[in-house]
Structure 1
Amino acid sequence: MARAQPPDPPSQTSTVHTLVDESGAATMSASAPRALDESPAAAPLDDLHKATSRASRTSRLDVVDPRDVADECAPPHVVWVEWDGPDDPANPFNWSKRRKWMISSVGIAFCSVVSISVSAYSIAAVSVENELHTSKELSLLGVTMYTLSFGAAPLLLAPLSEVYGRSSIYLGSAIVFALFFIPQALAPNIATMLVARFISGCAGSTAVSLVGGTIADVWRADERGTPMALFSFAAFGATGIGPVVFGYLAQIKGFRAVSWVLFAMSAAFAAVLPLLLKETRASVLLSRKAARLRKETGEERYVSRDDFERGSIRQMMRTSLGRPVKMLLHEPVLIAMTAFISFAWGVLYLFLVSIPYVFTKVYGFSTGEAGLIYITQFLGGIIGIVVDRYCQRLYHANVAKRGPEARLYTAFVGGVCVPVGAFIFCFTSYSFVHWMAPTIGITILYWGLYLIYLSAFNYVAEAYTLYASSALSAMSFVRNIVGAVFPLFTSQMFETLGIRGASGLTAGLGTLVSVIPFVLFAYGARLRARSPFAQELLRRAEEEERRTRLGEQSRRPSRAPSKERSDVDKEGAAELAA
């Protein structure tokens, strides 16, 4: 499933590239180019690269903002290239709303297509099993391979957007994503299918991981609510559309027809993508502007700040992989929320596989009829959006007192809805009970899963602000791994324990896990206070307060975790994504 970054994960610096593609570059100062030294002498780029190397070796990159290092290590005579004033038309924030909506819609549409392809394969798994003469476990491995790519691929490939831009990654990913539906449609054996699913998933997940960043690139914080909500809903709700649309096609024509239709959809999208999408990442646009100035003037001293900070691809990969692992091992709050959302994601994939099993076995539904039950995921997402609006009121009323823990009101509701929905499904899945009864239980369960999804990302994003992208990428990686594993034993679990036993076990575990947000609500602030990352954020806040008191004007935009700053990177997704 495509993983959206829910509205509002906070920003990271340009050297941190994770599943939640940070948009810190989009918040760069809207001021004219300025020099640290107005001397005409040039600062060769190789000197800058040496300084960058020194910075990467000497700074505490795990907790220190590389922009601080840039100011300390930059050679003299550098001219930092930025926007030509607050109204610079080249700044994506100043583009027309029509253009912004067109670009946002492209990303949301891509997210929807990728999400649909997850569940479309799931509903056609029986056809894969029969036509390729394989086992049920191997046919469902196609879901696992696709989901595994969502956990790993963006960590490795998303940093390339800092160098090559979002539009290039979008286009390349869309082409690969579309082309690898062809071997799925023509697959002579299950091995071909699994390899094609994995490669297609890698391409789709990499692109979807950039959608939240694209939205944050073009919309200001106070304008971003609606496009981010649509993105989050596309990531969650579109997964429920796949079986509804493809259920009868899979039943009548088989998985090959489903793959050809998905190829047509994705190929049409890839064909129009170059006409609609423009580069939006500010760091790339400013880098191109600096290169143009160097070419026009013949002077090497024009440099974008992100070019100086970025370092090599190898350094970016090291940061992208290293910091999330460190945070996941040492941050109790992150560990708890990762366990919470990972269980929820496992349940999501458990029901993705078990719904056809239960409704065909208990109620005698055909594949197409069982596919219609997945509309509950769409409905659950809609109900979740409505409930979240009320929880947002509680957040605004209590955030001054509770801090980031005020985001957990949404998690309270979600944590309760998941076991309640599972228990309803457990006690009503009998042939003498109308099929609408377990369907209501599934709707409540999906309602809870959507709220857990939103609250987990929003809470972690607000708790770690500057380091949110690393924290969110660690959380996304683990939940995708868990989601990938669950389909492998779902059928055996339901066959061994029975429908009531398997769903009852899920409900019982959900009840135990639902205490996590309540515990964090009570003790989360104390746990975070012991974190070295939280201490660094506090130091920055105190430093900014001191500067404000003294009336000092910083040479660059404030890096303190203000609301404006935190809102810029609440993208989420999406990871997101993912």
Structure 2
Amino acid sequence: MHNQTTNDIENSISLDDPQSPPSIPDGLKEEDRPVNWPSSKKWSIVVSTSLATFVVSFGSSVYSAAIPHIQARFSVSPDTALLGITLYVIGFALGPMAWGPASELYGKRRPLFLGYTLFCICQLPCALAQNMPLLLVFRFLSGLAGSSSLAILGGMYVDFLSRPAERGMSTAVFSVATFCGPTVGPIVGNLATFKLGWRWTAWLTLIGGLVFGSVAFLLTPETSEVVILRQRSKGNTSVTPSRIYRPERGISIFLQSYLTKPVRMFVREPILIFFTIYMSLAYGIIYLTFTVYPFAFVTVRGWSRMDGSLPFVGMTIGVILACIGIALHSIYYIQQSRVHVPERRLPPMIAGSIFLSAGIFWFGWTSSTSVHWLAQAAAGVFLGSGSILVLMSGVVYLIEVYLVHANSALAINNFLRCVIAATFPLYATDLLVDAGLGVGGSVIGSICLALSPVAFLFWRYGRTIRQWSKFTED
């Protein structure tokens, strides 16, 4: 890093800070700059792309409703059928390694909708699959392609939302769509499976993808000023930017930032290590509920599969409340902050760590049929809100701590978080089933409880710890 040329340093800065474009777009008129677009145009982009992302996250969990039918249709074990969720989330882990650099090199719009188009196409083989390997392959490819929206939209919003309050609100909208998708999926999936058959879990994902993806495609232009200028400069001598970025100049730097640099940061940065572990656990718990809820309400309580999906409403309520809480805290943070203090972002995470631990113990020890079902279902509000408060606050804190190195920090965080979330249900479900929801839930709850001081400790001592880092700025 110390032997980089001036051009390499410029490229590395543009890579890790989406607000620092690799060229000076002095050929654009003020009204053509994305930050000066009308508010109606900006928010139509945010809402439409968030709804399209909802379908991607919905697709990860709607499959869970089809698992018993897939077991019977293809004569496979429960663990094999569950791989449809695991591989989908593994795709979430691997996809951003390609989509992230592509968005920096070629702009946001093309890779975003290329990935989304491939995501929709992948639903066809999933809906028509006549064997388990084909279904699993295209479930993996669905996650891989659909992750383009998860990898790109954060940077896209930064391109045209200049005020912190706007960014905070866009984060809340995007988060509601992203995290409500997995909790709504089992409810809709069970209804579709009951009325139409298990293949309709894929057909519904395809229909939703085509509808919301088409709307987003029509409403979303390119948002990168550099790419807009480069497109307009072709054959137009009146557009004379001082520098027009050429992708081939920075490919090695992009690969370094998304592959080698994240690993180096992870092994050297205690902040990144502890937050990634804790956030991975919270993310894994969300996906664990897709198998634990049916066991708790269908197997133990004897409900129908349709009725057994309704307690996910509690988790959905928790997710929405958490997103509202994050948005309100962001407004308060912006109003109160006179200097850059990342630790002020952590109070919601402290609350979330309490909610998450309490929700797990609550859910486990109210699982007996002698306890009213509503008591157990209410635990979902705490599970949903706790998980989201930990995840969203963690992401925002990492961004504010690492600033120009945030892309690299989030790349390794996302990869490990998705890998752990993908595999967590495979072994944690066995623990809960074999040991019982009370004992098994206590084991997982104890792990959450052991990690819950992370947010408080970094809120209290974060500034001191940041001073040890080579990747942070005080």
Taking structure 1 as the reference length, what is the TM-score of the superposition? 0.75
Report Cα offsets for 1:45-98 as digits up to 9, x if no partner.
xxxxxxxxxxxxxxxxxxxxxx7xxxxxxxxxxxx652357x612211112222
Identify the residue that residue 121 of structure 1 maps to in structure 2. Answer: 63
Deviates more, 1:484-493 or 1:195-204: 484-493
What's the counterpart of residue 266 of structure 1? 209
Asked if structure 2 preserves the Cα contact closer than 8 Å seen for 1:156 and 1:317, the reply is no
Is 1:304 matched with 2:299? no
1:144-543 map, 5 Å = 144-222=86-164, 223-293=166-236, 296=237, 304=243, 306-307=245-246, 311-388=249-326, 391-392=329-330, 395=333, 403-534=341-472, 537=473
* Number of aligned positions between the proteins: 465
Answering whether residue 80 of structure 2 is matched by residue 138 of structure 1, we say yes
Q: 1:290 to 1:487 in 2, by over 3 A?
A: same
Report the residue type matching 2:110 in the other structure. S
Query: Partner amino acid for 1:202?
Result: L
1:85-113: per-residue Cα shift (whole Å, max 9, x none)?
7x612211112222222222221111110
1:279 alignment partner, SS class = coil
Question: Quick check: 2:346–2:455 contact (8 Å CA) kept in 1?
Answer: yes
> What's 1:42 paired with?
none
1:23 aligns with 2:18: yes
Q: Post-superposition shift, 1:285?
A: 1.3
Q: Give 3-state SS (helix, strand or coil) of 1:24's partner.
A: coil
- Displacement of 1:303: 5.2
User: 1:368 Cα deviation (Å)?
Assistant: 1.2
Classify 1:236/1:363 alpha carbon distance in 2 versus 1 (closer, same or farther; 3 Å): same
Contact kept? 2:49, 2:213, Cα under 8 Å? no
On the 8 A contact 1:412/1:517 being kept in 2, the answer is yes
Distance 1:459 1:13, change over 3 A: farther
TM-fit CA distance, 1:522: 2.6
CA distance in 2 between partners of 1:498 and 1:413 (Å): 28
Post-superposition offset of 1:391: 4.3
- Larger mean Cα displacement after TM superposition, 280-289 or 144-153: 280-289
Deviates further, 500-509 or 267-276: 267-276
* Amino acid paired to 1:233: V
Return the index of the structure with the highest Cα Rg: 1
How far apart are residue 272 of structure 1 and its match? Answer: 4.5
Q: Distance in 2 between matches of 1:467 and 1:201?
A: 26
What is the letter of the counterpart of residue 512 of structure 1? Answer: A
Structure with higher RCO (Cα < 8 A, 6+ apart): 1
Match of 2:25, SS state, is coil
**Could you tell me how far 1:397 is from its partner in structure 2?**
8.1
Structure 1 position 89 matched with structure 2 position 31: yes
- Do the aligned partners of 2:19 and 2:158 also contact (CA within 8 Å) in 1? no
Query: SS at 1:255's partner residue?
Result: coil
Q: Can you give the 5+ residue segments of structure 1 that lack an aligned partner in the other structure? A: 1-11, 29-66, 68-79, 539-578
Q: CA 1:93 to 1:14, structure 2 compared with 1: closer, same or farther past 3 Å?
A: farther
Question: CA separation of 1:401/1:280 partners in 2, compared to 1, >3 Å: closer, same or farther?
Answer: closer
Q: Which moved more, 1:389-398 or 1:335-344?
A: 389-398
Report percent identity of matched pairs: 28
What letter matches 2:35 in structure 1? F
Which amino acid is the alignment partner of residue 128 of structure 2?
L
The separation in 1 between residues aligned to 2:423 and 2:107, in whole angstroms, is 33
- The structural deviation recorded for 1:382 is 2.2
User: Does the Cα contact within 8 Å between 1:81 and 1:286 map onto a contact in 2?
Assistant: no
Say if 1:104 and 1:141 are closer, same or farther in 2 by CA, change over 3 A: same
Alignment of 1:9-20 (within 5 A): 15=12
SS in 2 for 1:224: helix
- Once the 2 structures are TM-superposed, how far is the Cα of residue 342 of structure 1 from its aligned partner? 1.1
Change (3 A) 1:258 1:219: same
Structure 1 291/318 Cα, relative in aligned 2: closer, same or farther at 3 Å?
farther
Q: Which moved more, 1:191-200 or 1:98-107?
A: 98-107
Q: Partner amino acid for 1:180? A: C
Deviation at residue 23 of structure 1 after TM alignment: 2.6
Counterpart AA for 2:48: V
Worse-matched range after superposition: 393-402 or 448-457 = 393-402
Which residue number in structure 2 is paired with residue 572 of structure 1?
A: none
Q: Is the 8 A contact 1:140 1:488 kept in 2?
A: yes
Task: Rate the CA distance shift 1:436–1:473 in 2: closer, same or farther, 3 A.
Answer: same
Residue deviations 1:386-408 (CA, integer Å, cap 9, x gap): 43356447746875689211211
In structure 1, C-alpha distance between the alignment counterparts of 2:160 and 2:338, rounded to whole Å: 29
Paired with 1:94 and 1:390, the residues of 2 have a C-alpha distance of 25
Q: Equivalents in 2 of 1:487, 1:137: separation in Å?
A: 9
Match of 2:6 in 1: none
Q: What SS does the corresponding residue of 1:89 show, helix, strand or coil?
A: helix
Residues 258, 396 of structure 1: CA spacing in aligned structure 2 closer, same or farther, 3 A cutoff?
A: closer
- The reply to whether residue 99 of structure 1 matches residue 99 of structure 2 is no
Distance in 2 (alpha carbons) for counterparts of 1:434 and 1:402: 48
Q: Compared with structure 1, are the counterparts of its residues 264 and 393 closer, same or farther at alpha carbon in structure 2 (3 Å cutoff)?
A: closer
Is the 1:184–1:193 Cα contact (8 Å) retained in structure 2? Answer: yes
Q: Quick one: distance in 2 between partners of 1:464 and 1:478?
A: 18
Could you say which residue in structure 2 is the equivalent of 1:75? none
Contact 2:116 2:148 survives alignment (8 Å): no
Q: Per the alignment, in what secondary structure is the counterpart of residue 278 of structure 1? A: coil
SS of the aligned residue for 2:245 comes to helix
Q: 1:217 to 1:469 in 2, by over 3 A?
A: same
CA shift, 1:355, in A, is 0.6
Structure 2: segments with no counterpart, 5+ residues: 1-8
Shift of 1:185: 1.0
1:357-407 CA-partner distances (Å, limit 9, x unpaired): 111112211111112211122200122134335644774687568921121
Asked whether the 8 Å contact 2:99–2:148 carries over to 1, the reply is yes
**Which amino acid in structure 2 is aligned with residue 165 of structure 1?**
G
CA distance in 2, matches of 1:507, 1:329: 27
Q: Quickly say closer, same or farther: Cα 1:94–1:400, change in 2 above 3 A.
A: closer
- Structure 1 residue 338, shift from structure 2 partner: 0.9
Q: Which amino acid aligns with 1:280?
A: T
What's the offset of the Cα at 1:337? 0.8
Change in 2 beyond 3 A, CA 1:456/1:274 = closer
* Coordinate RMSD, CA, aligned: 2.6
Task: Identify which range, 366-375 or 395-404, moves more after superposition.
Answer: 395-404
Letter in 2 for 1:151: A
